[in-house]
Amino acid sequence: MLAIKAKYQNGKITLLDAIPEKVKRAMLTIVVEPEEQENESVPAQEFNSTPISSEADFEAIGMNAFFDTEDDKNINWEDYFGLK
């Protein structure tokens, strides 16, 4: 896991730190820290959580590449472990 600082302004995200070149794909978790603005806040109901599958969880913890072998290509792990 790697933390990268970025700035959001007017609908655009600008990275303040570089992502290492060896990272070719990544799942991103964005933590929003609103800057101090007079009389402005973001109501909690405006943040919507998106349900994710166990496969997305698995990829998010970074183990997908470790287990992504030819032997695993045709196995539905959710069925195998009875997660459906």
pLDDT for residue 70: 75
Residue 38 lies in a domain: no
pLDDT in tens, 47-57: 666 667 777 77
Single out the residue of 73, 16, 79, 26 nearest to residue 53, CA to CA: 79
Residue 40 lies in a domain: no
Comparing 80 with 13, the larger pLDDT belongs to 13
pLDDT for residue 45: 65
pLDDT in tens, 67-81: 667 777 777 777 888
Domain, as residue range, for 18: 6-33+47-80
Task: Classify 73 as helix, strand or coil.
Answer: coil
Query: How many structural domains does the chain have?
Result: 1
Comparing 35 with 20, the larger pLDDT belongs to 20
Q: Long-range pairs for 73-80 at CB < 8 Å and ≥24 separation?
A: 78/53, 78/54
Q: What is the mean pLDDT of the chain?
A: 77
